[in-house]
Structure 1
Amino acid sequence: MAECVQVMGSFDGWTQGEEMSPEYSGDYARFSTILKLRPGRYEIKFLVDGEWQLSPELPTVGEGMMKNNLLVVE
């Protein structure tokens, strides 16, 4: 189970990101946060216990090490 999750991305120039809070349910935790973003397209990635991860629930853009999730805010 992950202990520390941050969402990083183009929304802040990949600088600080946003810490995500865990919600525990039995043997697993679901991490979430609220970002106040203007409409647009953002590339994001998750830093899970110090390792980069993609979400299988979001579309991806790019290739190889430059592969990121795409977050569209309308």
Structure 2
Amino acid sequence: MLEEFWANASTSYKALVFSAMGLIAVGLIMSIVGNTSGNQGLAMASLPVIGVGLVLHVVGLVVRGQKIRKGYKK
């Protein structure tokens, strides 16, 4: 079902998912670099980036759930 959904998913959904994954990855890298180098500002700046990525991830789950629900109603 996952392969079928991904193949039929809209471009906006795919962009949302990849944006979320990218922001989470960038935030994690910022956090690792900030904490290993002792740069407290960089480590703290990574938290909102990770948070935005997680919010986008949840939005993607909601969009996917709505599309699946609409598919069941047909």
Q: TM-score range by the shorter chain?
A: under 0.3
Return the structure number with greater relative CO, CA threshold 8 A, min gap 6.
Answer: 2
Report the structure, 1 or 2, having the larger strand content.
Answer: 1
Radius of gyration: which is bigger?
Answer: 2
TM-score norm. by structure 2 comes to: 0.19
TM-score norm. by structure 1 comes to: 0.19
Report the structure, 1 or 2, having the larger helix content.
Answer: 2
